[in-house]
Amino acid sequence: MNTSNRETTTVTHFILLGFSSSPEMQLLYFGLFSTTYTLTLTGNALIACAVLLDRRLHIPMYILLGNFSLLEMCYVTTTIPNMLANLLSTSKSISFLSCFAQFYFFFSFGYDEGFFLCAMAFDRYLAICHPLHYPHIMTKQLYTSLVILGWLFGFTLYLAPVVLISRLPYCGPNIINHFMCDPVPLMMLSCSEDTITQFLYSTLNVIFMIGTLIFILCSYALVIRAVLKMPSTASKHKAFSTCASHLAVVTLFYSPIIMMYVSPGSGHPEKMQKIITLFYSVITPLCNPLIYSLRNKEMKAALRKIFRTEQGIQKI
């Protein structure tokens, strides 16, 4: 950071107001969100364990799904524990470094999830539209590369926005009317309005979100067209069931994020910002394991196998 930024950046910590309400409501929120967090971790961990332990699930579709579930666990852990701590805290402060670390990891994991949704859509496209060529295209080397690239994608791409926004001058106030370090209120707290940083941030979000969404929708449009041509009703049902699960997760993931971040200057009311952020950072990760497990026979069979094993161990 240059000398001028050192002189103007006097803020050393931020205050996250979170859900301002009575102490009784704070305790209610704590119980609700801690339960949600536990269920989210448990559900996604079960899917990841099922993929790891059941050899029948050692295929690209489930390997990508297992990694997606691990990402969900990391994703919620970047925000919910700090939010729970703030609900019981009187200061509700977070250091400058911790704030931007949360900002970086939360959105990096979010970008990684978008990449994995693209990879999962590509996998379904190959499997359904080109079944004869699928084993030769989706090799172990390719899906391993997709997994590695998926984990690195967001951390590489999102480094620039975090660095740019962190280098903005913050002279005070330092109060963020949110439960997490979100880039939109952070940019609003800056002493100077940096239109270039806002433009670059918005452009990156638009390119990533719209680009990945178009790729996913085009992939599934081709998949649906191929499914409609299948002569077997059973094959159609299985393919549609798999696609419906993926599309449900895609809808839950992209709808609130596009509403919130494609246009940071759109002026969402602060209360609405919290609700939208709460939806995609807490509710969506909770729903995803339910969607995948309830609509997938192979996954349900693998989960039943895990529960039977646990019951057998407990009896011993």
Closest Cα partner for 302 from 2, 8, 125, 62? 62
Q: From the CB of residue 89, how many other CB atoms can be counted at a distance below 10 Å?
A: 13
- pLDDT winner (highest mean) among 126-140, 273-287, 288-302: 126-140
- In the predicted structure, residue 300 carries a pLDDT above the cut 50: yes
- How far apart CA 98 and CA 296 sit, in angstroms, is 39
- ∠ CA 169-173-179, nearest 5°, is 100
Q: What is the pLDDT of residue 295?
A: 66
**Number of folded domains that form the chain:** 1
Instruction: Tell the residue number behind the tokens 């939806």, with chain if given.
Output: 279
Q: What is the pLDDT of residue 198?
A: 87
Query: Which residue intervals of the chain are DSSP H helices?
Result: 3-8, 23-53, 60-77, 80-87, 96-129, 134-137, 140-157, 159-166, 183-189, 195-228, 233-261, 270-278, 284-294, 297-315
- In the predicted structure, residue 209 carries a pLDDT above the cut 70: yes
Is residue 177 within 8 A of residue 185, CB to CB? The reply is yes
What is the per-residue pLDDT across 154-172, written as a single tens digit (0 to 9) for each?
999 999 999 999 999 998 7
Helix (H, G, I), strand (E, B) or coil at 133: coil
What is the per-residue pLDDT across 242-266, written as a single tens digit (0 to 9) for each?
788 888 889 888 888 877 765 544 4
Closest Cα partner for 128 from 58, 46, 223, 37? 223
Instruction: Specify the pTM.
Output: 0.88
What is the per-residue pLDDT across 119-145, written as a single tens digit (0 to 9) for each?
999 999 999 899 999 999 999 999 999
What is the per-residue pLDDT across 226-248, written as a single tens digit (0 to 9) for each?
888 877 777 777 777 778 888 88
Lowest mean pLDDT among 25-29, 212-216, 270-274, 294-298: 294-298
- In the predicted structure, residue 314 carries a pLDDT above the cut 60: no
Q: What is the pLDDT of residue 262?
A: 57
Q: What is the pLDDT of residue 3?
A: 43
Structure tokens at 61: 């579709």
Structure tokens at 54: 């059941």
Average pLDDT over residues 201-215: 90
Residue 142 belongs to domain with CATH number: 1.20.1070.10
Q: What is the pLDDT of residue 5?
A: 44
- How far apart CA 293 and CA 246 sit, in angstroms, is 12
Q: What is the pLDDT of residue 111?
A: 94
- In the predicted structure, residue 19 carries a pLDDT above the cut 70: yes
Using 50, 70 and 90 to split pLDDT, how confident is the model at 95? Answer: very high
Is residue 84 within 8 A of residue 99, CB to CB? The reply is no
Instruction: Give whole-number Cα distances, 201 to 21, 98, 111, 171, 182, in Å.
Output: 32, 20, 13, 21, 13
User: Domain range for residue 189?
Assistant: 3-315
Helix (H, G, I), strand (E, B) or coil at 281: helix
Q: What is the pLDDT of residue 296?
A: 73
Is residue 112 within 8 A of residue 64, CB to CB? The reply is no
Q: What is the pLDDT of residue 1?
A: 43
Is residue 114 within 8 A of residue 253, CB to CB? The reply is yes
Using 50, 70 and 90 to split pLDDT, how confident is the model at 2? Answer: very low
Q: Report the chain's mean pLDDT, rounded to a whole number.
A: 86
Q: What is the pLDDT of residue 18?
A: 84
The residue length of the chain stands at: 316
**What amino acid is encoded at 191 in this protein?**
C
Higher per-residue pLDDT: 295 or 88: 88
Q: What is the pLDDT of residue 228?
A: 84
DSSP 192: S
- How far apart CA 39 and CA 43 sit, in angstroms, is 6
Pairing of strands 175-176, 13-16: parallel
Q: What is the pLDDT of residue 313?
A: 56
- In the predicted structure, residue 310 carries a pLDDT above the cut 80: no
- ∠ CA 191-205-270, nearest 5°, is 55
- How far apart CA 254 and CA 264 sit, in angstroms, is 15
- How far apart CA 31 and CA 268 sit, in angstroms, is 28
Average pLDDT over residues 55-63: 91
